[in-house]
Amino acid sequence: MSTNPPRTHVTIRNLSKEFGGVTLYKDFNFEIPYGKIVSIFGPNGCGKSTLINMIAGLIPYDSGQVLFDGKDLKDTKIGYVFQNYRDALFPWMSSRDNIAYPLRRTGMSEEKVSTRVEELVKLFEIRFNLDLYPYELSGGQQQTISIMRALAPKPEILFLDEPFSALDFEMTLFIREKLQEANITTGTTMMIVSHDLEDAVFLADEILLLTRRPTSIASLLHFDMPKPRLPEAISHPEFIEIKSKALEIFQAEMRK
């Protein structure tokens, strides 16, 4: 572990966005360090998803700049995991082909594609049949496939928009563990939007707490509890302390 200050990966400068005359973001500035997991938490309608969608290029912003290690988005490989896995996977392809799709489109050879898919199968300990179509799988399995698909091209940064909200607790635990593992082994920077404080804190190196509209940063909490964190970590005093701190800031924001 190096003690140097972490290098900045994503730089967000003076980001502004209006929605139908309402200012959502005005001159928003934020920096995401390399290889870290940033959780975004804030009141309803403050634009958590809008923020990552703007960074990921899914929604245009009015002004400002987003740079990935100095590069534009178009020169950056990203991955994105949607809340609604059912609408994000391609039902006309088998689960395996879904994972392989972004690789095949880059012109990668079939041999390399299957090697990469096998790597992911190992990392995610997949025991179900990948030749099944997504609609033949359980919700948790489908979300696992969409995370594998997003990770397949080895993105620099992975965006996750409420990835757990449609999953049961068992699957949430599993996917949390796997995301943590992927982050540790590959060093992929991750940005997670969550409406569940526990999920937000569990994976986070940084917890970005947002205010109500017009949205600014209420607080940025560093959480350096060692990783990998086990499921039991949630009852550790350190975990509880940061969680209550985040809750306090959140509640103060709600009272404003």
Partner 1 sequence: MNLKHRERLVMALPFIGPVLLYLLWSLALSAKWVSPTLLPAPNATFEYMGHLFITGAIFKDLWATVLRTFYAFLIACVIGVPLGVILGSSVPAYRSVEFLIDFFRSTPSSALIPLFMLIFGITDLNKIAIAAFAAVLVILFNSAYGVMNAKKTRVMAAKTMGISNFHIFKDVLLMESLPQTFVGLRTGVSLALVIVIVAEMFIGSEAGLGHRIIDAQQVFNIKDMYSSILITGALGYALNLIFMAIESKLVHWSGKA
DSSP string, 180-245: HHHHHHH--EEEEE-S-HHHHHHH-SEEEEE-SSSB-EEEEEE----SSPPGGGGGSHHHHHHHHH
Q: Which stretch binds partner 1 (CB under 8 A): 115-123, 145-153, 210-218, 226-234?
A: 145-153
Amino acid of residue 256: K
Coil vs helix vs strand at 114 = helix
For 107, other C-beta atoms within 10 Å of its C-beta total: 6
Instruction: List the one residue from 15, 46, 56, 201 that touches partner 1 (CB under 8 A).
Output: 56
Q: Does 132 bind partner 1 (CB under 8 A)?
A: no
Query: Could you tell me which stretch among 23-31, 72-80, 166-174, 209-217 binds partner 1 (CB under 8 A)?
Result: 72-80
- The amino acid at residue 81 is V
DSSP string, 17-70: EEETTEEEEEEEEEEEETT-EEEEE-STTS-HHHHHHHHTTSS--SEEEEEETT
Among the listed residues 88, 200, 204, 242, the single contact to partner 1 using CB under 8 A? 88
List residues bridging with 157 in a β-sheet. Answer: 78, 189
Does 86 engage in binding with partner 1 (CB under 8 A)? yes
Q: Does 165 bind partner 1 (CB under 8 A)?
A: no
How does DSSP classify residue 92?
T
CB contact at 8 A, 180 and 188: no
Give me the least distance between CB of 137 and partner 1, in Å please: 11
CB closer to partner 1 out of 152 and 242: 152
Q: Report if residue 163 touches partner 1, rule: CB under 8 A.
A: no
Binding residue for partner 1 (CB under 8 A) from 8, 16, 84, 216? 84
Among 35, 43, 47, 102, binds partner 1 (CB under 8 A): 102
Per rule CB under 8 A, is residue 91 in the interface with partner 1?
yes
Instruction: Establish if 145 lies at the interface with partner 1 (CB under 8 A).
Output: no
For the CB of residue 168, give the shortest distance to partner 1 in the complex, in Å. 20
Closest CA to 171 of 145, 129, 143: 143
79 binds partner 1 (CB under 8 A): yes
Residue 33 binding partner 1, by CB under 8 A: no
Q: Distance (Å, rounded) from C-alpha 226 to C-alpha 4?
A: 17
Minimum CB separation of residue 182 from partner 1 in Å reads 17
Binding residues for partner 1, per CB under 8 A?
56-58, 77-80, 82, 84, 86-92, 101-102, 105, 133-135, 146, 150, 153, 159
